[in-house]
Amino acid sequence: MRMPSSIKLHKASKTLELHYGEQRYSLSAEFLRVHSPSAEVQGHGNPILQTGKLGVGLSRLEPAGNYALKLCFDDGHDSGLFTWDYLYQLATRHDELWADYLAALATAGKSRDPNESIVKLML
C-alpha cells in the first residue's frame, strides 16, 4: 500500500496535491472525477465515459478507514472510495490515463465542456 505522506486540497485551483516522500503529484478534480472508482463511473466492469466534467471541483475529502479517501465533488458525486493504491496509480499514470480519456472522448464525439452538449442539442 502506497499511502501519501501529505494530502492537500486546493479548492481555488481545483486540484488535489499528493506527496509520496519527495515526489509530488497534482491531480485535477476533473481527472479524479472521470476516473472515480464508483459503480456510476466504472459500470461494474464496463466503464461509462464521463462527459462534461470540465470545471468540476472538489468540495471536501473524507477519510474512509485507514485505506481510502472519499472525494466529494461539487457536481454532487461522492460515491467513489479512492484507495491509497488507486490514488497512487492515478498519480503515477496520470499522463497515460488522461491521454486515453481524451482519445475516448474524441472517438465518442463527446466533450469535456458541459455546455457543448447543450449547444449541440439546440442546433
pLDDT digits (tens, 9 = 90+) for 14-29: 999 999 999 999 999 9
| Domains located in the chain, CATH noted | 6-122 (3.30.2020.30)
Q: Ramachandran region of residue 61, left (φ > 0), alpha (ψ -120 to 50) or beta?
A: beta
Mean pLDDT over the full length of the chain:
92
Tens place of pLDDT per residue across the chain (123 aa): 789 999 999 999 999 999 999 999 999 999 999 999 998 899 888 889 999 999 999 999 999 999 999 999 999 999 989 999 999 999 999 999 999 999 999 999 999 998 875 545 444
Between CA 94 and CA 77 the distance in angstroms is: 21
* pTM of the full structure: 0.91
Strand pairing partners for 17?
8, 26
